[in-house]
Amino acid sequence: MSVLAAWQARAPRLKSDTYAVYLACCDPRLPRYAKALAAVVVAYAFSPIDLIPDLIPVLGYLDDLVLVPLGIALVLRLTPAPVIAACRAQAQARLAQGRPTNWLAAAVIVAIWLLVAGLLILWLLRLLRS
């Protein structure tokens, strides 16, 4: 089995697990530290905007291929088994209806990019003045 085929086989499970982690965020049985990490991972995973744009060769896909799966795996380890089992079942049912999108997370990421761009412009202006 090629590497591409292996990733394609894992993609549906990752998508389902990501949504299951989202559902687990609302479960009172999930510890607070796991909820905080889950919220960050899910917000980033469902955001239509990446921290590293996909236009940047190799690095653009690195966050999608490494950061999101690692974050999901960590949250799954921190989540009690009964909670994740219930959330996985619920996620599979809800994913059949369509893909969720987190626009708040997208807005935060856009704000971060704008802040970085603004700081870079200020830095460049100071360099030109000297």
Which of 28-37, 61-70, 84-93, 114-123 is predicted with the least confidence, judged by mean pLDDT?
A: 61-70
pTM given for the model: 0.65
pLDDT of residue 88 exceeding 80: yes
What sign results for the dihedral spanned by CA atoms 64, 120, 107, 38?
A: positive
Q: Which of the listed ranges 48-52, 53-57, 74-78, 126-130 does the model predict with the highest average pLDDT? A: 74-78
CA atoms within 13 A on the CB side of 9: 6
Tell me which residue range forms the domain holding 29: 3-129
Looking at the structure of the chain, the number of domains it has is: 1
